[in-house]
Amino acid sequence: MSEITDFDALRRAMAENSEQPEGPARNARAEQLLAEAEKLGIPLAVIEVLGHQLKVYNYSSEKDKMFVPFARLLRMWDERPEDFDEYETHSLHWVFKWMSSGMLDQPHIPLASIEKWLGEMERRYRLAGHSERAVRSAEFSVAAHVGDVQRAERAYAAWLAADRDRMADCHACELQGQGWWQAERGADAEALKLWGPVLDGEFTCAHEPHTTLASSLVPLLRLGRLDEARAHHLRGFRLVRAMESMRGAYADHVEFCALTGNEARGLELLAERPAYFTDTGHPRSRMEFMSVVSLLMDRLTELGLGDQQVPGPAGRTWNARGLAAHARAEALALAARFDQRNGTSHVSERARARMGQRPLVERLALGVRAERLSAGVRSVPASVAPAPVASSPTAGADEPDLAALLAEARRLSDALQPNAVEAWAAVARAAEGVGLDARDRAEIADHRAMDLGPEGAELFERAAELYAEAGDPGEALAARARAAYVRALGGRVAEAVEAVAEPYNRVLALYAEGATGVRQTASVLMGRARILMRRVQEADEAAGAPEAGVAAEADAVPSPGSSQEAVLAAAEAAAREVLALVEGQAGDDVRLAARAAEARAMLAELAVHHGDLEAAAELFAQASAAYVDAGLPWFAVEYEARLAGLAHHLGDMAEAERALKAALEHGGPHLEATGRTQLHLQLAEVLGGSDESAEAAEHALEAAHWADEAGEGPTFGAWARHLLGGFLLRQGRCAEAAEVLESALLDLTAETHGDGAIVQTQWWLGDCLSELGEHRASAERRLQAAEIARHWPEQQDHATLAHLAAESLGQAGLPTEADRAYARAGDLWRSLGNVHGLVRSLRARAWLALRTEDGTDTARELMTLALGECERALDATADEDAQQRLTAELGDTHRQFGDLLARSSAEDAGDGSIQAAFAEALAQVAQAVAVFASLGDAAVHSRTGAELAAGWLAADLGRSAEAAARARAVLAAYADAVDETDVARARRAEAEQLLRVAEEQEDR
């Protein structure tokens, strides 16, 4: 920290301190600077530092410290106004407004003092000749705070009616306050309309759109505009996260989480700002913060998570229930202090209303990662509202009798309903201790075995015995076939093949004799076909066939006469046998319709093994349609998904999209979270590949949510967030994309997702941060990605990332680091034979050199090297397209060399030096014009841009005739333009201006 010996050093120190993060450290430095200013003995120095103190206190948690420096400033003004320059005079009157709002925020300051201050503000503004707009705005704030609606409405109207002048708040802050009042009065749509220009970025300031984004969250939720609410949360939280002074806006984001089923994220937000629980410098925002802490903790307690450990004030361990009580007491105590000061109950009423809110959305998926709560209720996003599933009978006080339960279970199982197994479980519970006949006991055992999966073989055998005892030999054989199949599921395929042989032969004999029906026969045949399909899978694994996808399977076509071909042939014959048995016999029997559909799906799988993907797609489509026609759409999900994979492989993106959407529709509420995740992920990838980034983002968002619900956040969820961030970036929604991508990086790993995914995510994040002006952070991300790509055999990505990192470093004001990165990129471009990348890195280094002391010669050398690289590459290539591109690059380099030379001459240099630099610059730009002219109409805009630059240089050198000639050349270039573009219009206007300047020079 350099010693302050004069006013200029003091001003530099204040400027440096202004760039520091908000907080006590910056405030403490401002206090030190006041002591330094007083040593200088210059009144204006003290005035400026007092103003600096006011600013840093206002933008911190220590707002209560503002009043002392302001009182001193006001006294100095009253005693010696001549000590204030124009800027400090303006600033003194400007911060009157800060004092007004600051007093309202401190309950120990009496209301009478605030009213007196308001009058003083009005008097001084009138004496200074200012409009009363700012005064009426301050009066409105007082009236709204105490709950005097009539006075607030009068002041609001007077505020809007008064003229805007230099003392009025900026447009962004005014619109924020006006919209807040409309939302407070219940006019949410009007509030959002008023906030529109701020939300769209038309008006901004130090705290906007930060505050407005936060204020808009609940109104958007109340209006059901959920996508906007999600976007405003992601975008707005990013803005307020690092700003200590924005506890009130931060509280709005915590409230949003509590009202949208995002309690886990709300806890993460609390953990990020522990000081917000205890900072006392701004009681009003502390009351707002503790109110939403109470809201969130009450919500957790309501969900059965009252004992959940949560972040809270330092010094003890908190659970949700305990923190809820503490936060509520703190908020109400602060509210009571305000009300006691104000003489109303308005503040307490608002605090209670805020703490008592109910969730506005069951669960709004945000796309960002949040730690899962240790217990609680699983929920679904508002955009996915599944139809209620018909409930199966369960044990309870009003449970139907056993006969009714049996009837319902048979109805559900005959119709192949998803909850049939649960219905049979209810029958089993009700039948305990009740004497049932063999048929009933057989069905109970049969369905219990189905629920056990591979562990149910013995129970299926017991069911077979009971069916036989009940006089149904066909169903007994079907149960034995099911027992064999579950053994195959457990990996005992050879044993299953052997076990199913006898039931198969016997059921065919019984069917031929008319001793059993088609349903029982089809069940045995399907069991056998399923076992033989498992044998196909086993043969694939034994042959080393990969299971990675359609292409791999299609490439693994068995050779004629191989054992694998024999296995395939047996499975195909079994599937066709099922189809031949049930085809045309299903009628209204959904079981037989399902057998036919499944047999077609088996034939589709076998067609894939034979490499006939078109036939496979057709068969999967038939299977899916058959299930839907039978009223069993949930069975179609798997085959629509398989069809989508085939369509994708065959390049039919429209069919892939249709099939995936059909799978989601058919699955409905019966889809498990993991299956829903995978379908949404596939849809996101298909739509993203078709440039449908908005719809792709919706499906990636859904995939991220369902992955979290399935406990797959670190795997599928991370990939979904990776995709979602990319789609948001593609739409220009950089703040949202950055939040999502940062969230994805927490879980992406090279082992699970591949290092390519990590590089791409870092790359996208770097692009987002660059667009957001966070250049240092952008450089870090790009450098991290480049370090991974450095180890790849192909170095194109490494070179590109190094180049992008250099750009970010330069924009972050780190020229030395940027030059090193550009040099690294240049070496990589050279090794790749990429002349364009190499030339651009050299040009960038030249511009960086110009920013350093005595860097002009280096800049010239680098630009000369860039020209040489272009010229050598042009001489070395005969490819016409490559020559065109290199010629354009050469023209750009001459143009930039000219611009650099023109800027290299210091403004205070001698006339001769400036004239020489301009002449040399003109020569380079003239060469650029000639190079661009050689490219014809394809480079007309580049040529005219260079022509105008040359014309202005000529005018500066007093060569009016040359300047005029160049202006006329530009006008001639666009004389015959049919459809004039914006560029052409701008060029024409500039050329006309240049021509007037040149003609005036000639006249002198």
- Asked which of 104-118, 138-152, 363-377, 953-967 is least confident by mean pLDDT, the reply is 363-377
pLDDT of residue 560: 54
Binned at pLDDT 50, 70 and 90, residue 562 comes out as: low
Binned at pLDDT 50, 70 and 90, residue 539 comes out as: confident
* 572 CB-side CA count, 13 A: 15
| Alpha carbons 870 and 901: distance in angstroms, whole number | 19
- Token couple for 749: 């790993």
Binned at pLDDT 50, 70 and 90, residue 114 comes out as: very high
The whole-number average pLDDT for the span 781-806 is 96
| Alpha carbons 485 and 497: distance in angstroms, whole number | 9
pTM score: 0.85
The whole-number average pLDDT for the span 851-857 is 85
| Alpha carbons 873 and 983: distance in angstroms, whole number | 30
The whole-number average pLDDT for the span 118-145 is 94
Most distant CA atoms of the chain, gap in Å: 122
Peptide bond into 209 cis (omega under 30): yes
Q: 42-53, pLDDT tens digit by residue?
A: 999 999 999 999
**Is the per-residue pLDDT at 592 higher than 90?**
yes
**Is the per-residue pLDDT at 383 higher than 50?**
no
pLDDT of residue 639: 94
How many other CB atoms are there within 10 angstroms of residue 16's CB atom?
12
pLDDT of residue 1: 52
How many other CB atoms are there within 10 angstroms of residue 868's CB atom?
13
Q: 960-991, pLDDT tens digit by residue?
A: 999 999 999 999 999 887 667 889 999 999 99
Nearest Cα to 772, choosing from 808, 722, 800? 808
310 φ, ψ to 5°?
-135, 160
Residue type, 463: A
pLDDT of residue 377: 39
pLDDT of residue 548: 43
Specify the DSSP class assigned to residue 839: H
More confident residue, 77 or 386: 77
Interacting residues of 337 by C-beta distance below 8 A, sequence separation 6+: 107, 108, 283
Cα torsion through 18, 19, 21, 27, rounded to 10? -20
Residue type, 490: G
- E-strand spans in 457-545? none
**Is the per-residue pLDDT at 395 higher than 50?**
no
Instruction: Provide DSSP, 595-627.
Output: HHHHHHHHHHHHHHHTT-HHHHHHHHHHHHHHH
pLDDT of residue 400: 66
Is there a contact between 568 and 529 (Cβ–Cβ < 8 Å)? no
**Sign of the Cα pseudo-torsion (227, 229, 231, 233, in order):** negative
| Alpha carbons 942 and 122: distance in angstroms, whole number | 57
How far is the CA of 305 from the CAs of 310, 320, 347, in angstroms? 10, 7, 29
pLDDT of residue 584: 81
Residue type, 721: R
| Alpha carbons 35 and 54: distance in angstroms, whole number | 15
Residue type, 222: R
pLDDT of residue 563: 80
* 865 CB-side CA count, 13 A: 18
774: left (phi over 0), alpha (psi -120 to 50) or beta: beta
The whole-number average pLDDT for the span 274-287 is 94
pLDDT of residue 432: 86
The chain-wide mean pLDDT, for the chain, equals 91
How many other CB atoms are there within 10 angstroms of residue 138's CB atom?
27
| Alpha carbons 499 and 480: distance in angstroms, whole number | 8
Residue type, 697: A
More confident residue, 98 or 213: 213
Binned at pLDDT 50, 70 and 90, residue 551 comes out as: low
Instruction: Provide DSSP, 540-596.
Output: HHHHT---S-HHHHHH-PPPTT-HHHHHHHHHHHHHHHHHHHHTTT-TT-HHHHHHH
Nearest Cα to 107, choosing from 328, 332, 259? 332
Is there a contact between 171 and 199 (Cβ–Cβ < 8 Å)? no
* 924 CB-side CA count, 13 A: 22
More confident residue, 902 or 397: 902
Q: 209-258, pLDDT tens digit by residue?
A: 999 999 999 999 999 999 999 999 999 999 999 898 999 999 999 999 99
| Alpha carbons 682 and 678: distance in angstroms, whole number | 6
More confident residue, 396 or 6: 6
**Is the per-residue pLDDT at 389 higher than 60?**
no
**Which residue, chain included where needed, has tokens 């060029």?**
987
The whole-number average pLDDT for the span 352-369 is 95
Rounded to an integer, what is the distance from CA 795 to the centroid of its chain?
29
pLDDT of residue 376: 43
**Which residue, chain included where needed, has tokens 């406990």?**
711
How many other CB atoms are there within 10 angstroms of residue 285's CB atom?
21
- Token couple for 787: 């370090």
Binned at pLDDT 50, 70 and 90, residue 139 comes out as: very high
| Alpha carbons 287 and 248: distance in angstroms, whole number | 9
